[in-house]
Chain A
Amino acid sequence: MLKDVTIGQYYPTGSVIHKLDPRTKILFTTAFVVMLFFLNNLWGYLATFLILLTITLLSKIPVGYIIRGIKGLVLIIMLTVVLNLFMTPGTPVATLGPLTVTIEGLKVATYMALRLIFLVIGTSIMTLTTSPIDLTDGMEWCMRFIPFVRRYAHELAMMMSIALRFIPTLMEETERIMKAQKARGANFETGNIIARAKNLIPILIPLFISAFRRADELATAMEARCYRGGENRTRMKQLAFEFRDGASLVLMFVMIIGLYLTTWIQIPLLFPV
């Protein structure tokens, strides 16, 4: 049950995409996300789809695995679609009781749904292909260019990597505690909502205690190894910007420009421009 969560998971396959410098991937993902909101016709979304498909195939991650990540968002996507479908004023195409579907509504709903899906897929490809350590190293480097945040870049990155590191551990712990309480006859599967909420206490208390204990132990272990923040700290594994990163950056630049150019296309695809 808990194992189905794919957010922030790393899926190692050793592909070309995995080997890219995390900074390259962060830069591209950021540009990609911004670009998604500029797209104004289906040509752009078609191009986005093709780009994502190519990257997915290159990353050797099973397509089904990536699609599973959207499952959790189905409700939000549905809600957006329904709201946009009926709430946008314009030329009516169909009526359903008091509700009217407009051609503009249809258009906005489709764009919003595609935008959300591509947003999630695009960002999850980044986390799936980048190990948490690489990801935070890359983030730390990127944060150095943001004023105000710069001072805390290392601390923020460290906090993020610790948080990411402990997601699976805490999940495992939760499962272990749940099993232990089940072995004592606890019942998490039946009963009304109040009974179920009450049943969470035997899980939450041990979980909090163990999280605090872990935090405490980790802090001691870090201090014992003379950790004192980012100042003068050097790395064993330096991020190295290689030829393939340069090459892919050029490619990515071309792709982003290409996406931007689609906004100028005047030939209608499905919807009028």
Chain B
Amino acid sequence: MSVEIKNLSHTYSEGSPFEFKALKDINITIEDGSFIGIIGHTGSGKSTLIQHLNGLLTPTSGTVLVDGKDIFATKKSDMILLRHHIGLVFQYPEHQLFEETVQKDVAFGPKNQGLSDQEVDQRVRQSIKMVGLDFEEVKDKSPFELSGGQMRRVAIAGVLAMEPSVLILDEPTAGLDPRGREEILAQIKSLHTQKKITVILVSHSMEDIGKMVDKILVMNEGEVVFFDTPNRVFTEITTLESIGLAVPEVTYLMRRLKEKYPEIREDIFTVEAAKKEILKVIRG
């Protein structure tokens, strides 16, 4: 599914003293099957933007086209159908768990889709496996007796079970330990490659995003600063720093090395690539 955002603006509490322009005239196109990273400082409008993509927020002006169709011009029932195709995992998704068992909670989404019991069961098994949990081990547990990282996975599985064609994740690794972060990101990546779905990942961390995505959307104060490949975005160090962001540590290292070895490339943002490049230069 392709998603086209057209002249999208959103103002909170319009006309009151708390008025806040969260999005200002956003125009971007997200192609089918791509992996997009959204990055920006707190309050830059990332979360507001993604909530427009499945119609949870209604724009003040502008619109969103999904597969060429204006989603805000449709009926309420179509909007509910749209949400089956565009899965959104909120920040701290474990706060939305409510069922008695993990199995029931993950089944909430597919059940709302009106699937048969058999199909629901199959999807629940699949998605719990996808997030790296053992179905037999967790299915009868209460979601509230799991560890934080496990709860997060169960909540993500709850959205995956709906088999969306576009998956949006709002800081899925916030508050997890380094190992939990690595695992969840790796699972998202493999999901993208295996199922060929479009993934939109909101994150604070350039390191996390840089090595996974096709394109990065950099936002600042409700506006798009860059929408380009990581290679190109990471060369704009001054602009990024001026809006409170930073490039991956490795990129800074490569910059410093360039002062000594002018032939070294500096558009590098993973440790792996840096290692290769350094070895290449040193060995000549």
Q: Tell whether B101 is near chain A: CB-to-CB under 8 Å.
A: no
Question: How many pairs of residues, A versus B, come closer than 8 Å at their CB atoms?
Answer: 64
The CA of A181 and the CA of B16, in the complex, are separated in Å by 29
Could you write out 5 A-B pairs with CB less than 8 Å apart? A11-B17, A13-B17, A176-B95, A183-B83, A202-B98
The CA of A97 and the CA of B112, in the complex, are separated in Å by 52
Contact A177 B159 (CB under 8 A): no
Binding site for B on A (CB under 8 A): 3, 11-13, 65, 176-177, 179-187, 189-190, 201-202, 205-206, 209-210
Shortest distance between the CB of B56 and any CB in chain A (Å): 5
Q: Tell whether B158 is near chain A: CB-to-CB under 8 Å.
A: yes
Residues on B with beta carbons closer than 8 Å to the beta carbon of A180: 88, 90, 93, 95-96
Shortest distance between the CB of B163 and any CB in chain A (Å): 12
Name the interface residues of B136-184: CB closer than 8 Å to any CB of A: 144, 158-159, 162
The CA of A205 and the CA of B99, in the complex, are separated in Å by 8
Q: Tell me whether A209 and B84 are in contact in the complex, defined as CB-CB below 8 angstroms, given that A184-B108, A184-B109, A184-B162 are known contacts.
A: no
Residues on B with beta carbons closer than 8 Å to the beta carbon of A177: 95-96
Residues on B with beta carbons closer than 8 Å to the beta carbon of A186: 108, 112
Residues on A with beta carbons closer than 8 Å to the beta carbon of B96: 177, 180-181, 184, 202, 206
Q: Tell whether B59 is near chain A: CB-to-CB under 8 Å.
A: no
The CA of A90 and the CA of B77, in the complex, are separated in Å by 56
Residues on A with beta carbons closer than 8 Å to the beta carbon of B84: 185
Which one of B13, B51, B80, B162 contacts A3 once the chains associate, using CB atoms below 8 Å?
A: B13
With a 10 A CB-CB cut-off, give which of A13, A184, A189, A210 has the most chain B CB atoms: A184
Q: Tell whether B127 is near chain A: CB-to-CB under 8 Å.
A: no
Residues on A with beta carbons closer than 8 Å to the beta carbon of B17: 11-13
Q: Tell me whether A182 and B56 are in contact in the complex, defined as CB-CB below 8 angstroms, given that A3-B13, A13-B17, A187-B112 are known contacts.
A: yes
Contact A183 B98 (CB under 8 A): no
Residues on A with beta carbons closer than 8 Å to the beta carbon of B93: 180
Contact B95 A202 (CB under 8 A): no
Shortest distance between the CB of B1 and any CB in chain A (Å): 16
Q: Tell whether B113 is near chain A: CB-to-CB under 8 Å.
A: yes
Contact A184 B51 (CB under 8 A): no
Q: Tell whether B250 is near chain A: CB-to-CB under 8 Å.
A: no
Q: Tell me whether A201 and B76 are in contact in the complex, defined as CB-CB below 8 angstroms, given that A12-B17, A184-B112, A185-B113 are known contacts.
A: no
Contact A185 B162 (CB under 8 A): yes
Contact A176 B90 (CB under 8 A): yes
Shortest distance between the CB of B90 and any CB in chain A (Å): 5
Residues on B with beta carbons closer than 8 Å to the beta carbon of A209: 95, 144
Q: Tell whether B45 is near chain A: CB-to-CB under 8 Å.
A: no
Shortest distance between the CB of B243 and any CB in chain A (Å): 26
Shortest distance between the CB of A169 and any CB in chain B (Å): 13
The CA of A183 and the CA of B273, in the complex, are separated in Å by 38
Shortest distance between the CB of B75 and any CB in chain A (Å): 11
Shortest distance between the CB of A213 and any CB in chain B (Å): 9
Residues on A with beta carbons closer than 8 Å to the beta carbon of B220: none
| 8 A-B pairs closest in CB distance | A185-B112, A205-B98, A180-B96, A183-B88, A184-B109, A180-B90, A179-B56, A202-B98
Nearest residue (CB) in A for B106 is A184
Residues on A with beta carbons closer than 8 Å to the beta carbon of B112: 184-187
Q: Tell me whether A201 and B98 are in contact in the complex, defined as CB-CB below 8 angstroms, given that A3-B13, A184-B112, A187-B112 are known contacts.
A: yes
Nearest residue (CB) in A for B96 is A180
Residues on B with beta carbons closer than 8 Å to the beta carbon of A201: 98
Nearest residue (CB) in B for A177 is B96
Beyond A180-B88, A185-B113, list 8 extra A-B contacts (CB 8 Å). Answer: A177-B96, A180-B90, A182-B56, A183-B54, A184-B83, A184-B112, A185-B112, A189-B76
Contact B56 A183 (CB under 8 A): yes
Name the interface residues of B97-121: CB closer than 8 Å to any CB of A: 97-98, 108-109, 112-113
Q: Tell whether B222 is near chain A: CB-to-CB under 8 Å.
A: no
The CA of A182 and the CA of B76, in the complex, are separated in Å by 12
Q: Tell whether B87 is near chain A: CB-to-CB under 8 Å.
A: yes
Nearest residue (CB) in A for B144 is A209
The CA of A108 and the CA of B98, in the complex, are separated in Å by 51
The CA of A59 and the CA of B162, in the complex, are separated in Å by 52
Residues on A with beta carbons closer than 8 Å to the beta carbon of B98: 201-202, 205-206
Q: Tell me whether A179 and B95 are in contact in the complex, defined as CB-CB below 8 angstroms, given that A3-B13, A187-B112, A189-B76 are known contacts.
A: no
Contact B95 A210 (CB under 8 A): yes
Nearest residue (CB) in B for A61 is B17
Contact B56 A187 (CB under 8 A): no
Shortest distance between the CB of B96 and any CB in chain A (Å): 4
Residues on B with beta carbons closer than 8 Å to the beta carbon of A179: 51, 56, 90
Shortest distance between the CB of B81 and any CB in chain A (Å): 9
Residues on A with beta carbons closer than 8 Å to the beta carbon of B113: 185
The CA of A177 and the CA of B94, in the complex, are separated in Å by 11
Residues on B with beta carbons closer than 8 Å to the beta carbon of A11: 17
Residues on A with beta carbons closer than 8 Å to the beta carbon of B109: 184-185
